[in-house]
């Protein structure tokens, strides 16, 4: 049965009563929804001692997607009941015969629904025990209680968009009847990414996307119009109490693994949602060189000439950085987990596995179960919860990365947002159980990567194989993993080190540098102001110079010629720098002489 | 996930041919393009006239029957309606201010 908002809140409370040693009801989030519903969550963990990783599962951000909150609650009860029963497993029954899944034939002419038979499947005990003993599992089963209540109330609104298809939250309209005025915010577009910003979220999106992207009119799923029935992003990032609940949990519960559950596109997605993915460390949401700025602006930060900038579409130049370097290997790990999840669901479908993993099966067209970055599968979706969770590692380099997913269970032809709870919901339920368990199994087996090897001690005569290009910059940022250092490393290792001239240039530069830098690095490492000064006044200009030279040289095709150009440009800049230093020294000396004389 | 009804799709795209192409694309990526949204009778007639499988759009009659079935499966808790909090009164403040 589909639970109302009150029934969801009652079940959250009941779970905590039924499993008091395994589960607590989170009542400490200080805000309630716009219409007074408490914003609750569950914490599930066994009493066993030992280090734990924290996982957050969210559902019900979109009001009309009825199945995920129910399935998350059903999963929680199943998990704890199995753990509390000796030798028990989680058993998902067969869906055949009278309980076979009903779907709408999307390409044939027969009007009657067809059926899909699924065999029984189970989750073994070691996976259950590992999840309960090694993890803290936070569940926010219903992030948007007001919206769900509205969709389940007697239907109002025009037939083309009845209230049962409401997607956003339900803040009261100012001074007007909320049942007749389109209001509310798309919660999954209200997170402060690519911010944070002092202005509105829309300002931030306008900064991020190029004018050519058609923000607000094109295929980028965002709107600045509160009357937009699906896409209004809200006044500011994180403005809504429901959005804030998710942000509060992520920040306060040390979340390392995240999954937001939706229906019904049959997708397993991971960042980024706002742009296609890439590997260039220079293409980041906080990189001002790619910002879109008004034509009248005098800002030097503009998308490079001739580039379309961030346009939210596939196949163009800009690709948001999805790092794949050691130790986290984020790109390949996300893809692997998503593929494993897909295989779990398809594998549990038995002989009909192809029916849910392929687009076409027995001359019928199905929605395929597909994995990948959501911007490349569905549409560009800015300011989503998944992107915000993932972006935190960049906005605050002291934070560890969070593995983030958005799972769209069920297919449109299986009841869409409102599946029949007898003949269609069981498949949504099964998929969501398998999906959450896949993430929990990954999280329970995950070990923090070994800390990176310390930078090699500066040798009097360096070999030129240094792991980190700059001990001073490393001390300034407090980490060798800052994207600017990664960029410099890439230029050094992939460009300069690839040719004889480049290697000779590196030997000349590094020889002197490695003699001078250790005492400087030691001095600034323990002084926050010195580190900040070095970041702003030394590393940033040097990074800018290297980046500019690299961009100029990148227009040259042959590597030998490119490296010659790079070395030439670097040498010119170094000479100019030395000349500037000499002039300042000469001016200071003259000044001192005049004052002294 | 986002949906768009058939009527809106036809209006936005301007032609039924583009709707057909878009609907196929939507099926490929799994987007519920209109399948669970009500359409105007004129839109449904236009789709039928062009030979597009009506199941993709799920005609209003079947959709209404489906919705009625699912709505009968909603489970509340006893006394929840009476205990439900009253909607917050408008404060007169602008959102986010």
- Considering only the beta carbons, identify the residue of A171, A175, A411 that sits closest to B92: A175
Amino acid A567: pLDDT? 83
Residue with tokens 């669901």: A345
Residues 94-113 of A with CB under 8 A from B: 104-109, 111
Amino acid A197: pLDDT? 67
Q: Give the DSSP per-residue string, A54-98.
A: EEEEEE-SSTT--HHHHHHHHHHHHHHHHHHSTT--EEE--B-GG
Amino acid B80: pLDDT? 62
Query: Cβ of B70 and A418 within 8 Å?
Result: yes
CA atoms of A465 and A588, how far apart (whole Å): 38
Return the percentage of chain B with pLDDT > 90, whole number.
9
A418 touches chain B (CB under 8 A): yes
Closest chain A CA to residue B57: A106
Task: Compute the Cα dihedral for A79, A83, A89, A93 and give only its sign.
Answer: negative
Tokens of A124: 């073994």
pLDDT tens across the length of chain A (597 residues) = 899 999 999 999 999 999 999 999 999 999 999 999 999 999 999 999 989 999 999 999 999 999 999 999 999 999 999 999 999 999 999 988 888 888 765 544 444 557 788 889 999 999 999 999 999 999 999 999 999 999 999 988 776 678 888 999 998 865 455 555 568 999 999 999 987 667 899 999 988 998 878 787 767 889 998 888 888 999 999 999 999 999 999 999 999 999 999 998 788 999 999 999 999 998 999 888 888 865 444 555 455 666 678 888 877 888 999 999 988 999 999 999 998 898 888 888 877 666 665 544 545 545 567 888 988 877 789 999 999 999 999 999 899 999 999 999 987 778 888 999 999 999 999 999 999 999 999 999 988 776 666 655 544 333 333 344 467 887 787 665 555 665 676 677 667 776 778 878 888 887 777 777 888 888 887 787 888 888 888 888 888 888 788 777 766 766 677 778 888 888 888 888 888 888 888 888 888 888 876
- Considering only the beta carbons, identify the residue of A6, A408, A411 that sits closest to B76: A6
CA atoms of A320 and A323, how far apart (whole Å): 9
> From the centroid of its chain, how far is CA A461?
43
A193, A285 in Cβ contact below 8 A? yes
Distance from CA of B64 to the nearest CA of A (A): 10
Residue from A147, A160, A369, A384 to probe the interface with B (highest B Cβ count within 10 Å): A160
Query: Cβ of A413 and B35 within 8 Å?
Result: yes
Residues 49-88 of A with CB under 8 A from B: 62, 65-66
Amino acid A110: pLDDT? 44
Q: Which of A188, A172, A181 is nearest to A64 (CA)?
A: A188
Amino acid A295: pLDDT? 47
- Considering only the beta carbons, identify the residue of A65, A105, A235 that sits closest to B95: A235
DSSP strand pairing (A41-44 vs A135-140) = antiparallel
Amino acid A124: pLDDT? 94
- Considering only the beta carbons, identify the residue of B56, B69, B74 that sits closest to A152: B74
Amino acid A75: pLDDT? 98
**Long-range contacts from A349-355, C-beta under 8 angstroms, 24+ separation:** A349/A118, A349/A119, A350/A117, A350/A118, A350/A119, A351/A117, A351/A119, A352/A116, A352/A117, A352/A118, A355/A116
Higher pLDDT, A88 or B2: A88
In this structure, what are the phi and psi dihedrals at residue A183, rounded to the nearest 5 degrees? Answer: -140, 180
The pTM of this model reads: 0.74
Residue from A6, A314, A426 to probe the interface with B (highest B Cβ count within 10 Å): A6
Query: Cβ of A412 and B35 within 8 Å?
Result: yes
ipTM over cut 0.85: no
Measured in Å, how far apart are chain B's first and last C-alpha atoms? Answer: 29
Task: Compute the Cα dihedral for A232, A235, A241, A245 and give only its sign.
Answer: positive
Sorted by sequence, the CB contacts under 8 Å of residue A105 that are 6+ apart come out as A113, A114, A364, A413, B55
A160, A233 in Cβ contact below 8 A? no
- Considering only the beta carbons, identify the residue of B35, B74, B86 that sits closest to A416: B35
B78 touches chain A (CB under 8 A): no
Amino acid B42: pLDDT? 67
Residues of A in contact with B28 (CB under 8 A): 359, 368
Average pLDDT of B38-66? 68
Amino acid A296: pLDDT? 46
The answer on pLDDT for B92 being more than 80 is: no
Count the neighbouring beta carbons within 10 Å of the beta carbon of residue A50: 7
Tokens of A455: 């930078």
Tokens of A591: 């000044």
B68 touches chain A (CB under 8 A): no
């Amino acid at each position: 049965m589909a639970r109302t908002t009150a029934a969801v809140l009652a079940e959250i409370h009941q779970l905590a009563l039924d499993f008091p040693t395994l589960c607590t009801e989170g009542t400490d989030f200080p805000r309630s929804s716009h219409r007074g519903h408490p914003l609750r969550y569950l914490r599930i963990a066994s009493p066993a001692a030992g280090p734990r990783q924290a996982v957050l599962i969210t559902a019900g951000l979109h009001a009309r997607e009825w199945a995920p909150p129910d399935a998350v609650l059903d999963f929680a009860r199943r998990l704890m009941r199995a753990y509390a029963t000796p030798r028990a497993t989680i058993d998902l029954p067969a869906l055949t015969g009278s309980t076979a899944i009903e779907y709408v034939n999307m390409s044939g002419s027969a009007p009657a629904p067809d059926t899909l038979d699924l065999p029984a499947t189970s989750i073994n005990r070691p996976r259950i025990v590992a999840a309960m003993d090694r993890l803290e599992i936070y569940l926010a089963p219903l992030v948007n209680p007001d919206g769900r209540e509205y969709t389940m109330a007697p239907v109002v609104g025009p037939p083309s968009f009845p209230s049962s298809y409401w997607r956003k939250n339900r803040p009261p309209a100012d001074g007007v009847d909320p049942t007749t005025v389109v209001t509310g915010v798309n919660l999954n577009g209200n997170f402060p990414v690519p911010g944070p910003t002092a202005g509105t979220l829309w300002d931030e999106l306008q900064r991020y996307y190029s004018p050519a992207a058609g923000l607000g009119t094109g295929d980028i799923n965002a709107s600045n119009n509160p009357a937009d029935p699906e896409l209004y992003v809200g006044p500011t990032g994180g403005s809504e109490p429901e959005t804030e609940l998710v942000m509060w949990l992520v920040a306060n519960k040390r979340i390392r693994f995240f999954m937001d559950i939706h229906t019904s596109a049959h997708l397993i997605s991971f960042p980024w949602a706002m742009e296609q993915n890439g590997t260039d460390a220079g293409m980041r949401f906080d990189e001002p060189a790619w910002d879109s700025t008004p034509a009248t602006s005098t800002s030097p930060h503009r998308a490079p000439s001739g580039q379309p900038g961030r346009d939210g579409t596939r196949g163009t130049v800009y690709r948001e950085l999805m790092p794949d370097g050691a130790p986290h290997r984020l790109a390949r790990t996300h893809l692997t987990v998503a593929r494993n999840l897909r295989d779990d669901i398809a594998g549990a479908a038995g002989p009909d596995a192809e029916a849910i993993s392929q687009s076409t099966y027995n001359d019928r067209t199905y929605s395929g179960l597909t994995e990948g970055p959501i911007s490349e599968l569905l549409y560009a979706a800015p300011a989503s919860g998944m992107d915000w969770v993932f972006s935190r590692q960049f906005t605050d380099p002291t934070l560890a990365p969070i593995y983030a997913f958005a799972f769209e269970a069920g297919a449109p032809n299986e009841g869409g947002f409102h599946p029949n709870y007898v003949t269609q919901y069981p498949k949504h339920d099964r998929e969501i159980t398998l999906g959450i368990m896949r993430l929990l199994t990954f999280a329970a087996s995950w070990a923090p990567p070994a800390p990176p090897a310390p930078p090699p001690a500066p040798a009097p005569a360096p070999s030129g194989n240094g792991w980190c290009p700059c001990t001073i910059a490393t001390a300034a940022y407090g980490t060798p993993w800052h994207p600017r250092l990664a960029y410099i490393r890439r230029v050094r290792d992939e460009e300069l080190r690839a040719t004889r001239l480049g290697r000779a240039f590196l030997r000349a530069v590094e020889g002197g540098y490695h003699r001078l830098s250790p005492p400087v690095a030691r001095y600034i490492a323990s002084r926050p102001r010195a580190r900040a000064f070095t970041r702003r006044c030394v590393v940033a200009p040097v990074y800018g110079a290297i980046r500019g030279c690299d961009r100029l040289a990148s227009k040259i095709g042959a590597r030998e010629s490119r490296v010659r150009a790079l070395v030439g440009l670097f040498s010119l800049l170094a000479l100019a720098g030395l000349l500037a230093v000499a002039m300042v020294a000469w001016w200071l000396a003259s000044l001192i002489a005049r004052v002294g004389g | 996930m986002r949906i768009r009804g058939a009527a809106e799709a036809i209006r936005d795209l301007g032609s039924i041919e583009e709707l057909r192409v878009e609907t196929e694309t939507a099926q490929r990526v799994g987007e519920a393009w209109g399948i669970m949204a009500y359409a105007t009778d004129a839109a449904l007639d236009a789709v039928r006239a062009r030979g597009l499988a009506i199941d993709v759009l799920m005609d209003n009659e079947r959709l209404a029957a489906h919705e009625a079935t699912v709505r009968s499966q909603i489970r509340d808790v006893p006394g929840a309606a009476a205990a439900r909090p009253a909607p917050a009164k408008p404060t007169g403040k602008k959102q986010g201010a």
